[in-house]
Structure 1
């Protein structure tokens, strides 16, 4: 299969002259300076690139000794100019790339059989499926697609019919961050836009709970299907108890507790006014009543502490708070996790169930747990840890890309 159309040639980020003997290497190629098994290869890790390697091309990846090391997407001006999709001497062709998409769909449809419990799940999970830069969530009849690499963007037109055919969908929305589009030069790619008019929302079913997903106001791809299994688990453990859902977004944990757990006293709190409005609509879809509060978690939580208000169970699922590897910026996010967990624990009865989450990929499991434990101990609470979970199996993680394990959920009783 021929490669997709190439955007205009741009100056390579690697300026070193081709090494001796490279005239015999398979083209196009990019040579690495250092050994790394991680899929992301930064500019200072690249020694040289063949002149015919263009933006978004599949290239042969050569090691520092001139041996074939793998295959990947090349984009000279991107912050990550080389994304290695495959390691080893087996060359990744366009046909094999197509087969990789099929394998991702086979996992969800034939192995996990997700259709039996929900019509909302992740169909492709970027590096977790060996397709760096492509995230596809299936919501009933609509595909919500997020693209972050030019290599994926150039092939999206070819893949859309396959995605719709295999997933039984007919509509799609495509999300590209404007800054990423500029950096990756996606404006040159000849790919389809979202449906016109694009679907504004869709109704989905998850473990017999109904939700409406908004593509206009929702975060990321519209809904956090990565918490599906955790919402079901929470409903089981919280059964019949009072529930406080902090950073509730559109009400996933709160509604699961009410509908599946039979909890009568359920409160959801979120700063996003549109999210609270959507949460109320979701409650109406399920014909249940909950208490929704549009407020800042810190301010409202401290006021409730002063009022002496506490709940049997508290779940805290804040948005991403650590955005950068910069020590100073990263510490600000870590401090927010500490403060939020301290406030949440102050609203929980002794011996109550505490479920706390982090979706920051740059915060590893051990550090997240250390933050939560310090927040508990500083407030004279002990945590009896029951379980540690993450995203569902439709969000697989590759061993050479541990950042893919971005979602961390700690389950404990707080004494």
Structure 2
């Protein structure tokens, strides 16, 4: 038997140790964990040994540090996350298990939440939240908009897409893979899965939107804010509304079309997003003032002009994409919230959003409160919400609860 510190073919890749003698009786291909973890993402330091000849993207049997069957996952030795767990249990599962996971995800949205009754835009598969780590699927009208973060997912995607189209009644596909992820994972050949389309029109609680895949972020439309947009509309009848960092006009349009706001202003630095917001307003035949400018600069100018609104919603981009940017991101959130709070009339509504999953909701709330107190103003916090129920969170991956939305009246 080789020494535990010796190098062997079986320990190539993330595994650092030779396989234990009892592994001769294990199902193959296999990966043994060095440490216990129920998290779906298993990193290199957590992997002990790997059986010889495992093909990248393979469905492997996973054994715990004591050599007992632990579950199964998709393995890729080159990836930043070499092992993505899809199943925990001693009894083996096959490729058909992935179809069961897809059906479970669709059933939640269609049968339990009945989202299709109110919208044709919702998240169908939410990666770890649906037990399918590395896969994000949004339904946008007749289109399935897909993000892939895993080689194992990419290899199986053609078969899965056909099944999802049959279940959802969709007909077209848009697949996106980040260039850096594709390089790290070794993902190739997905270009042929996308249909030649640029835009699609969707509806959400009676509001119509056009999604431009050539310019949009991520899957093209932020379905996670759907319920918050609807709720915001309930607050603003007859009120003046400012939508800071409005992107393609989600909150602004909900305020005007659903809420009956008296006047609405949308502000964003992305000129393509503002152009799309104008088209969306035309689709709904409403008049909204769209301003192409940096939100920080606009808020400062409006404070100088002593301009205020009765309801302000602030939904900026992710200021903390990595841990290295935590300190700078916190400062940005506090500064922008302080500027936005200065634009709210006394007794008005302030809705502040944070999509940085690395910033806990409690800490974000304290940042917003501190920003208010800097202005000698107080917040009457009425609620704190997050993404809609089509963005579920599994108990073994709580950090996927990334969106925090704080609702408060300002005095």
- How high is the TM-score relative to the length of structure 2? 0.95
Q: Report the equivalent of 2:151.
A: 150
8 Å Cα contact 2:11/2:18 also seen in 1: no
8 Å Cα contact 1:30/1:48 also seen in 2: yes
Where 1:53 maps in the other structure, the secondary structure is coil
Q: Establish whether residue 226 from structure 1 lines up as the match of residue 224 from structure 2.
A: yes
8 Å Cα contact 1:37/1:400 also seen in 2: yes
Q: Distance in 2 between matches of 1:292 and 1:162?
A: 41
Q: Report the equivalent of 2:208.
A: 210
1:85-96 residue pairs with structure 2 within 5 A? Answer: 85-96=86-97
- The alpha-carbon deviation at position 10 of structure 1 amounts to 12
Q: Distance in 1 between matches of 2:70 and 2:193?
A: 37
Q: Report the equivalent of 1:46.
A: 47
8 Å Cα contact 1:313/1:348 also seen in 2: yes
Q: Distance in 1 between matches of 2:409 and 2:92?
A: 51
Where 1:385 maps in the other structure, the secondary structure is strand
Q: Report the equivalent of 1:339.
A: 335
> Over residues 7-45 of structure 1, what are the superposed CA-to-partner deviations in whole Å (9 max), with x where a residue is unaligned?
xx9952224211221111221111111111211111111
Q: Which of 362, 384, 387 matches 2:380?
A: 384
8 Å Cα contact 1:316/1:355 also seen in 2: yes
Give the 3 Å change call, closer, same or farther, for CA 192–156 of structure 1 in structure 2: farther
Q: Distance in 2 between matches of 1:10 and 1:194?
A: 35
- The alpha-carbon deviation at position 245 of structure 1 amounts to 0.2
Q: Which of 363, 367, 373 matches 2:369?
A: 373
Q: Which of 244, 262, 267 matches 1:269?
A: 267
- The alpha-carbon deviation at position 90 of structure 1 amounts to 3.2
Q: Distance in 2 between matches of 1:122 and 1:195?
A: 18
- The alpha-carbon deviation at position 191 of structure 1 amounts to 5.0
> Over residues 34-63 of structure 1, what are the superposed CA-to-partner deviations in whole Å (9 max), with x where a residue is unaligned?
111211111111111111322111111111
Q: Report the equivalent of 1:5.
A: none
- How high is the TM-score relative to the length of structure 1? 0.94
Q: Report the equivalent of 1:169.
A: 170
8 Å Cα contact 1:10/1:55 also seen in 2: no
Q: Report the equivalent of 1:193.
A: 192
Q: Report the equivalent of 1:253.
A: 251
Deviates more, 1:311-320 or 1:379-388: 379-388
- Cα RMSD of the aligned pairs, angstroms, is 1.5
Give unpaired runs (5+ residues) of structure 2: 1-9
Q: Report the equivalent of 1:74.
A: 75
Q: Establish whether residue 243 from structure 1 lines up as the match of residue 234 from structure 2.
A: no
Q: Distance in 2 between matches of 1:372 and 1:89?
A: 47
Q: Report the equivalent of 1:401.
A: 397
Where 1:108 maps in the other structure, the secondary structure is helix
Question: After TM superposition, what 4+ stretches of structure 1 lie above 6 angstroms from structure 2?
Answer: none
